Amino acid sequence: MSSLLSTEQKLVQTANLKASVSVKTKPHRRKRIAENRHSDFRRSESHLLDSTLPMPILDDEDTAWKHLLHQSIETPEEVHEKWGEDIETMKTLEKEFNIRINPYYASLIKEKNDPIYLQVVPSKNELIKGCCVDDPLNEERDSPVPSITHRYPDRVLFLVAHECAVYCRFCTRKRKVSDSSKISLKYLEAGINYIREHKEIRDVVLSGGDPLTLSDRRIDYILKSLREIPHVEIIRIGTKIPCVLPQRITKKLVNIIKKYHPVYVNTHFNHPRELTPEAKQACERLADAGVPVGNQCVLLKGVNDDVETMRALMKGLLKMRVRPYYIYQADIVKGTEHFRTRVEKGLEIIQGLRGHISGLAIPHFVIDSPGGGGKIPLLPHYIEKLDNDEVVMRNFKGERYTYPQVQENPTPAVENLQTIANQNGFQIGAEIQDYF
């Protein structure tokens, strides 16, 4: 393990120092970059892009992230060599979902089966059947054209990239991610046209795969095309890049994004160890460019399923100017049964956050309901009683408080006021500042 870490850390240092390196595709990549990354787009880019746009010029920051991505661990043989995992098991798992672990993210792994390792290194537990399915959110049902999921009235999910900087083993969309025949640039125009034709759409969420694995030129084209549609008010980018390949958040990319405001970024940190100086710089670059950054994390067994880990994560995110947005109960995706916790664990975590850290740091705990019902928020049981007269609640310390319901006669008897005051520990006539 020590030799692995030193190797990965050297690669990261090389990239961060913006060394001059040649970017070459690894010859063993079968259905990955060598065959798919550019071919679909290049066949059709004449009608996708304005031919007057200047061809991209690589600078050192471009070289850095591309070098890291092209040095990724992507085969069963490499996983076996680095971590000693059974090669036949790895070959079986690769048939289910591709492998990619870039050197930057690999450098965060301290030991086998730690919280970083579990998220990206294939495990034999992925073969457990359980109740999991390929498309738990029924996205295909709500897909009027191949690149669009239109579930909520005023917003759509727009899949624009098939690749990610790492392939998370708990991926909800693993049935499509890494497969350029299922998420393809050839569907890009159909998606843009659908959005243009449906005037009820005011909010577009770009996803995939990871949209920020696309070239700057393609990202610019997509954002420009969407911003030119009058009824599109908000553009959101769903990306794990600030967490898993922060070197991709270059000055050039940020300058492209900020041309098309309002643009929001929802990123995906799951563990405090992912909050590195590189990740902080990436998030701050976005924030400095006026891009609000939110975080969506997934509750994962063995990774972040305890209160202290989640507290550290949420507090650390705020320090990086990232607002916690969602904690997702893990979706029932095929091959992820071993990641799932009981729902009570999520409620316990929310209860352990509320009142113990800033309200800014408390996300919504949601289940993206199986079958395509959308996100449903869940809260611990703070209400003990609710009737026509009063609401009886417990606070984060477990102490009981009463709130009087509004009545048709808004002047309750003095004795009722005194009863409520006594229940809540107040004195009639005392100044409110006496209690704060």
Given the residues 29, 32, 66, 173, the one annotated as active site: 173
Domain limit, last residue, from 127, 161, 192 = 127
Instruction: Clarify whether 152 is annotated catalytic.
Output: yes
Do 276 and 168 share a domain, yes or no?
Answer: yes
In the predicted model, what is the mean pLDDT of the chain?
85
- Predicted confidence (pLDDT) at residue 28 exceeds the cutoff of 70: no
Instruction: Clarify whether 368 is annotated catalytic.
Output: yes
Given the residues 132, 171, 283, 297, the one annotated as active site: 171
Do 76 and 152 share a domain, yes or no?
Answer: no
Domain limit, last residue, from 336, 351, 378 = 378
Given the residues 114, 142, 152, 182, the one annotated as active site: 152
Instruction: Clarify whether 283 is annotated catalytic.
Output: no
Instruction: State the burial class of residue 161 (Cβ atoms within 10 Å of its Cβ: 0-12, 13-18, 19+).
Output: buried
Instruction: Clarify whether 375 is annotated catalytic.
Output: yes
Report, as an integer, the average pLDDT of 126-145. Answer: 83
Largest pairwise CA distance in the chain: 83
Instruction: Clarify whether 173 is annotated catalytic.
Output: yes
Higher pLDDT residue, 212 or 389? 212
User: Which range of residues forms the domain containing residue 243?
Assistant: 140-378
Instruction: Clarify whether 171 is annotated catalytic.
Output: yes
- Predicted confidence (pLDDT) at residue 18 exceeds the cutoff of 70: no
Count of domains for the chain:
3
Q: Which tens digit of pLDDT belongs to each residue from 72-114?
A: 999 999 999 999 999 999 999 999 999 999 999 999 999 999 9
| Sheet bearing 383-386, strands edge to edge | 383-386, 390-394, 400-404
Rounded distance between C-alpha atoms, residue 292 and residue 295, angstroms:
10
Instruction: Clarify whether 131 is annotated catalytic.
Output: no
Do 248 and 151 share a domain, yes or no?
Answer: yes
Rounded distance between C-alpha atoms, residue 264 and residue 235, angstroms:
6
Given the residues 66, 135, 168, 334, the one annotated as active site: 168
Given the residues 132, 164, 283, 297, the one annotated as active site: 164
Given the residues 301, 323, 375, 394, the one annotated as active site: 375
Do 260 and 404 share a domain, yes or no?
Answer: no
Given the residues 26, 151, 258, 354, the one annotated as active site: 151
Does residue 250 sit within a domain?
yes
Do 266 and 395 share a domain, yes or no?
Answer: no
Lowest mean pLDDT among 4-8, 168-172, 332-336: 4-8
- Predicted confidence (pLDDT) at residue 148 exceeds the cutoff of 70: yes
Contact 403, 415 (CB under 8 A): no
Rounded distance between C-alpha atoms, residue 283 and residue 265, angstroms:
10
Does residue 43 sit within a domain?
no
Does residue 373 sit within a domain?
yes
Rounded distance between C-alpha atoms, residue 76 and residue 101, angstroms:
12
